[in-house]
Structure 1
Amino acid sequence: MTKQELIKAFYDNHKEMSDYINSLTDEQFVFSHNDKWTAGQQFSHVYLALLPFPKILPSKEFIVQKFGKIDRPIWSSDTVIENYFKTSRQAPQQFLPEQVSSEQKATITADLQKITLTIHQLLDQYTDEELDTLVIPHPLLGKLTIREMFYLMAYHATHHLNQTKENLK
């Protein structure tokens, strides 16, 4: 996947989730089945998972100093997802959503749009080589290249969109 394809997939998948969430009634937005997260909580979680990126991506030098470069073969998108499913898939505490009311939908939507645009602009500043060599930590998978991280982040929105749809059946 080229850099532009990756950025597009990341952005489009988050927009698709946002559009779907915003098509829901207030009742659907807060509905929970079998103690599963509500659509609002799924939406909030996807946003919370993106919060670290605008802080870390602006400084390539910091990334190299703090985390270094990849020392293993680069994973394909499929390999990243396969390895993710081998983990506990339990989100760390800072990414767990609180209860979300329907009144918060517009705020989360605006915040998600803003952060995905910021991340899009930051990723544009990376070369393909940097995407494939610089690493940042993932709480479950350890060090991932930036490209691998965004394979996962593009998938992450789709995964939670599908969970939301399943919960509303």
Structure 2
Amino acid sequence: MDKEAIVDLIEEKNSELISWLEKHPDESWTSGPEGKWTTGQQALHLLQSIKPLNNALSMPKYLLRFKFGKANRPVRDYDAIVKRYQERLQDAKGKTFKGSQNMKVPTLADKNYILNRLQTESKKLQYKTKKISDKNLDTVILPHPLMGKMPVREIIMWTAHHVEHHAKTLKEKY
């Protein structure tokens, strides 16, 4: 998937999510299905997952290569990443990873802030995706808590799917 297609995918998935969250009743922001995250926690989780990626993409690429190494395999396509993520989710059996464990329940007063930050971080990721070289997209790797080390192109495509995954969950169960 080329950079423009990835940028378009990020925009599409985030716009759908934000639109749904804005239309969703405020009362459900602090509630969710029994034993599941609230709508607010879902949104906060997505914000918590995109911010470290944007922070990493702001670092000099040579530092990322020094810290995490470089890709030793070809980049997978979007469908292969989605398939691998679904497999890993099943293997994890509902395990929550460090950053999202014991997550606070955002208040209704936090809603606009979180939605604005999600939109801002999405725009940042789109901008950074356009600016990074194709070589760095394919050779620089970053760690993912569930998927392991991934080339930047893959982790950005995964981020678009991650938003879609949570939006689908929200639409179906909330």
| TM-score, normalisation: structure 2 | 0.89
**Structure 1 contact 49–95 (Cα < 8 Å) conserved:** no
Q: Which amino acid letter does the alignment assign opposite residue 97 of structure 2? A: P
Shift of 1:135: 0.7
Shift of 1:34: 2.2
Shift of 1:141: 1.2
Answering whether residue 35 of structure 2 is matched by residue 38 of structure 1, we say no
- Residue matched to 1:124: 130
Shift of 1:132: 1.4
- Residue matched to 1:16: 16
SS in 2 for 1:51: helix
State which of 110, 122, 133 in structure 1 corresponds to 2:139: 133
Alpha-carbon distance in 1 for matches of 2:157, 2:55: 19
SS in 2 for 1:86: helix
What are the ranges of 5 or more consecutive residues in structure 1 without an aligned counterpart? none
Answering whether residue 169 of structure 2 is matched by residue 163 of structure 1, we say yes
- Residue matched to 1:92: 97
**Structure 2 contact 70–140 (Cα < 8 Å) conserved:** yes
Shift of 1:90: 3.3
Shift of 1:30: 2.4
Shift of 1:130: 1.7
Shift of 1:38: 1.6
SS in 2 for 1:36: coil
- Residue matched to 2:150: 144
Alpha-carbon distance in 1 for matches of 2:51, 2:23: 24
Q: Over residues 71-108 of structure 1, what are the superposed CA-to-partner deviations in whole Å (9 max), with x where a residue is unaligned?
A: 12321111111111222163422134321222211010
SS in 2 for 1:137: strand
Q: Which amino acid letter does the alignment assign opposite residue 80 of structure 1? A: I
- Residue matched to 1:101: 107
- Segments of 4+ moved more than 6 angstroms: none
- Residue matched to 2:57: 57
Percent sequence identity over matched residues? 27
**Structure 1 contact 36–167 (Cα < 8 Å) conserved:** no
Alpha-carbon distance in 1 for matches of 2:12, 2:170: 17
Shift of 1:9: 0.7
> Please, which moves more after superposition, 83-92 or 140-149?
83-92
- Residue matched to 1:112: 118
> Please, which moves more after superposition, 143-152 or 74-83?
74-83
